[in-house]
């Protein structure tokens, strides 16, 4: 069906464009003078000044592993993050929890857990897919290293960055 587009009638000032251009220029000049007179500062002096305090709650920094309130590692090596990871940055070697361990009933733990931070794209799918709430993207964004090997975060490093997260899943707390 034919449809007639109704266009707004433009005034002469709008048609010649110039007032709008001048108004924009005015804003630029206003900011220029405010910076010049020291009333406003736009440049952040990194690394002396950092984003850290400005980061929002949902900021996606480096993926890390967390332990629970008992100091037990939450990860059970289900390898779902390894599966979902788009750049295939995660490598897990699953293992069985030994007979005499307090958390024997959990059965499985990651013998090795590596995230290659050169590959990681900070997408957060690993955090989203984790059924045990063991992997979280924390606020660390300055992940650097001098060698490729250094950029592969192993289990120790991941727990260092991750720390403890309490009060999430309680499914292992029930008596068994």
Decide whether 65 or 77 has the Cβ nearer to other proteins.
Answer: 77
Q: Whole-angstrom Cα distance, residue 106 to residue 90?
A: 22
Q: How far is CA 9 from each of CA 5, 22, 38, 39, rounded to the nearest angstrom?
A: 12, 22, 43, 41
Q: Whole-angstrom Cα distance, residue 59 to residue 42?
A: 22
| 105-124 footprint of other proteins as x/- string (CB under 8 A) | xxxx----------------
Q: What is the DSSP letter of 66?
A: -
Q: How far is the CB of 105 from other proteins (least distance, A)?
A: 7
Decide whether 52 or 101 has the Cβ nearer to other proteins.
Answer: 101
Q: Whole-angstrom Cα distance, residue 77 to residue 83?
A: 11
Work out which of 68, 132, 137, 159 binds other proteins, going by CB under 8 A: 132
- Residues of this chain that interact with other proteins (CB under 8 A) are 76-80, 82-83, 94-96, 99, 104-108, 131-132, 171, 176
């Amino acid at each position: 069906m034919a449809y007639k587009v109704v266009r707004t009638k433009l005034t002469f000032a709008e048609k010649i464009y110039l007032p709008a251009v001048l108004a924009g220029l005015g804003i630029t000049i206003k900011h220029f003078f405010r910076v010049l007179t020291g009333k406003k500062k736009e440049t952040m002096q990194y690394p002396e000044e950092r984003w850290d305090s400005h980061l929002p709650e949902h900021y996606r920094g480096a993926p890390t592993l967390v332990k629970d309130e008992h100091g037990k590692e939450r990860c059970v090596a289900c390898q779902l993050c390894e599966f979902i990871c788009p750049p295939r940055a995660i490598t897990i070697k699953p293992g069985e929890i030994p007979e005499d361990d307090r958390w024997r009933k959990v059965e499985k733990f990651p013998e090795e857990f590596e995230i290659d931070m050169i590959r990681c794209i900070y997408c957060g799918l690993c955090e989203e897919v984790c059924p045990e709430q063991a992997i979280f993207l924390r606020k660390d964004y300055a992940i650097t290293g001098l060698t490729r090997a250094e950029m592969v975060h192993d289990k120790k490093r991941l727990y260092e960055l991750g720390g403890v997260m309490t009060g999430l899943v309680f499914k292992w707390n029930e008596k068994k």
